[in-house]
Amino acid sequence: MPHTETLRYAGYHPTVLGGRLSVFSESATRLEVRVWSAQDPQWLEHILPMERGTDDIWSVESEFLIPGTVYSVHADGPTGPRHAFDPDIALVDPYARGIIRTANGERRNVIVDNTFDWEGVAKPRIPMRDTVIYEAHIKGLTAAHPDIPHALRGTYAGLAHPAMIAYLKDLGVTSVELLPIHIFASEMRLTKQGLHNYWGYNTLNFFTPHPYYASESNLAAGPSAVLAEFKGMVKILHEAGLEVILDVVYNHTSEGGYQGEPVSFRGLDNANYYRQTEAGEYIDTTGCSNTLNTSVPAVHRLIVDSLRFWADECGVDGFRFDLMASLGRNEIHHFDPKHPLLQEILSDPILSETKLISEPWDTGMGGWQVGKFPAGYHEWNDHFRDRVRQFWLRDIAETRAWSVAPQGVADLSAALSGSTAIYGEKRTPLASVNFVTAHDGFTLADLVSYDVKHNKANGESNRDGTDNNTSFNFGDEGITQNEVVTLHRRRAMRSLLGTLFVSAGVPMLTAGDETGRTQNGNNNAYCHDSALTWLNWDLAGWQRAHLDSTKRLIQIRRENPALRGVTAARPSVRRTAEGAIEESTIEPFVGLMDWYTADGLPMALDDWHSSLVRTVQYLVGTPAVEDVQNRVLVVIHGLETSQDVVFPARDDVRGYTLLWDSSHAAEPEHREIAPGETLTMGPTSLSIYRVD
């Protein structure tokens, strides 16, 4: 590793003379590289004029351009509403792999030493059907971990520490999805409030790892050491059989609105890098003041080159693309699933072998594109999130209020069976990345503890963050001493996670949900780098029980291929009493998936439509190969009263053995049920049985 030579459109290339730097700018009239002293990056040593070449790539070759060189790029060009040239501003090279700050706050680029010994360690290449994603913040994951040395907490090396590796392996996840690690900057507004951007969705450069996630010694040693620490982390996780997925933000940059100070792209070629009107005002489809113009070939190339760098030279296994609808917008700013950038990522020989996960929306017109991305992309499925929350939380709240449930099991069953109405039969359920929570929004514990957000600490008078949480506090807002409310909350947490891990698709678990982490009702904690957002490793007894329950769920999914089926769902076709054929668009079937009522009878069309039907069973199995077949029965009851359930009586079933039950905080007692036998199921619960 790297397995192939990564070709770059621009950036640094070593040469016989020393090195060559290349930068894109169609609009500039003059570009130069200024070389600064490595000992004092405010001391100018050389000025190297650049020459325009093919495709408006400006280049300079010099003996001074070698690893360790500190430099800046300066650009001059026309004035006007779409330009922001200022030759006195030291600009960040879009292809830089190392960035430092001077004593007076200016940024400098550093040519890094890219050598690294992978010692033959290869990528795990875990099939998507077997993948369990663990979404985490690189700092928050280990910042308070007692078994990790203080010097490594909150760092790349901290994630690679044996204590963290052991935890992840024991939990059973396969792939760690890291919130942005590209170097980022805090917004001026946050800085003035004494806060800073913690999540990192404010990228400064797409090739440089965020230096402040490196250990102090490597940070002091410089950008080459920071990059090596990141690669070392990837190598160690790979040795443990764990994948690394990066959350990448190519839709906008940290340069803010069009009137802001140039830092990089704006100062090099504002007219081409950003979407804007002829009057120079930015067309913002991200809600972050600017949007990169991916209809420009150079911007398209930049993104592909960045992805190839991380996938090939840094060993990354996949990417989750933030607000990816913006990347697929064409020259008139409309989303196009056949956009050249989206297609090239899929066809690239390196990138096509990685996991490609889309957040399939943005904030622009026509921005919600769930199910619209080309085959080959996996998508965050907000339908799954909303339907599962609705069934276990808001439906219960409304049933309490009106003494009748607002809906039955149709929407939930669609989520359980792979959201085929969204993705179609050709893409299979693996197109869906299922989640109940993510970094953005309530934690799992807060989802069952708060009816409304509590974001005043963010400094925006509680205006930020979504108001559409689909949450339920079960009677008390926030912390409670009410044991009955607590019982309901913890059972709901288990039922939510149980649904996640028995559903067709790719499950994503948010770090800390396995231990009941809280953010005190803050559903937009992007600006808090503190114990509020870090994982708390000092667990109460109920948290350890919840952790064990989550581990067991992941183990059950791993040991039962039936729960990881990839056959697309099909609508069922039924014949009415009059003999007419009607097609149900509600009833889902996934492969060998059969659905039953609480009475153990096959679900009828009226059952799917009825809000009175809140109990459903489904039996899912793998195809029989040489008489070996794996089958699982899932029983779901969505009311706060007990329910008698008759287990399906089938000639091909000898019995049902209990594997997990959300009614219990601890491992349930051994239970075997005969076909046709009746069992009383506890309130609002989900149970999983092996079919014998």
**Residue 40 is encoded by which pair of tokens?**
């004092």
The one-letter amino acid code at 76 reads D
On whether the CB atoms of residues 136 and 181 are closer than 8 A, the answer is no
On whether the CB atoms of residues 518 and 442 are closer than 8 A, the answer is no
Summarised one tens digit per residue, pLDDT across range 50-72 is: 999 999 999 999 999 999 999 99
Summarised one tens digit per residue, pLDDT across range 476-487 is: 999 999 999 999
Q: Residue 473 to residues 458, 487, 631: CA-CA distances in angstroms?
A: 22, 12, 35
pLDDT at 566: 60
| Backbone torsions φ then ψ of 595, nearest 5 degrees | -115, 140
Q: Is the pLDDT of residue 685 over 60?
A: yes
On whether the CB atoms of residues 71 and 109 are closer than 8 A, the answer is yes
Which position has the higher pLDDT, 428 or 87? 87
pLDDT at 626: 57
Q: Active-site residue 359, yes or no? A: yes
Q: Residue 633, class by beta-carbon neighbours within 10 Å (0-12 exposed, 13-18 middle, 19+ buried)?
A: buried
Summarised one tens digit per residue, pLDDT across range 137-182 is: 999 999 999 999 999 999 999 999 999 999 999 999 999 999 999 9
pLDDT at 576: 42
Separation CA 185–CA 202 (nearest Å): 6
Tell me the domain boundaries of the chain: 11-110, 563-579+589-691
Q: Is the pLDDT of residue 508 over 70?
A: yes
pLDDT at 4: 42
pLDDT at 565: 73
Active-site annotation holder among 359, 411, 514, 587: 359
- The residue length of the chain stands at 692
pLDDT at 49: 98
Q: Active-site residue 322, yes or no? A: yes
Q: How far apart are the first and last CA of the chain?
A: 45
H or E segment and range at residue 617: strand 615-621
Report the b/e string of 390-429 with b at 16+ CB within 10 A.
bbbbbbbbbbeeeeebebbbbbbbbbbbbbbebbeeebbb
**Span 11-110: which CATH code?**
2.60.40.10
3-state SS, one letter per residue, for 167-205: HHHHHCCCEEEECCCECECCCHHHHHCCCCCCCCCCECC
pLDDT at 571: 38
Q: Is the pLDDT of residue 530 over 70?
A: yes
**Residue 449 is encoded by which pair of tokens?**
């503890």
Report the b/e string of 573-585 with b at 16+ CB within 10 A.
eeeeeeeeeeebe
Which CATH superfamily groups domain 563-579+589-691?
Golgi alpha-mannosidase II (2.60.40.1180)
DSSP string, 120-139: T-------GGG--EEEE-TT
Active-site annotation holder among 177, 229, 312, 322: 322
pLDDT at 628: 80
Residue position matching structure tokens 């026509």:
366
Any bridge partners for residue 73, and if so which? 33, 91
Q: How large a percentage of the chain has pLDDT more than 90?
A: 91
Report the b/e string of 183-222 with b at 16+ CB within 10 A.
bbbebeebeeeebbbbbbbbbbbbbbbbbebbbeebbeeb
For helices 297-308 and 265-273, give the axis angle rounded to 10 degrees: 120
Q: How large a percentage of the chain has pLDDT more than 70?
A: 95
Residue position matching structure tokens 């839709």:
251
Residue position matching structure tokens 């803050």:
522
Q: Is the pLDDT of residue 6 over 70?
A: no
Summarised one tens digit per residue, pLDDT across range 655-678 is: 999 999 999 888 878 899 999 999
| Stretch 420-428: mean pLDDT | 85
Whether 563-579+589-691 and 11-110 are alike in CATH topology: the answer is yes
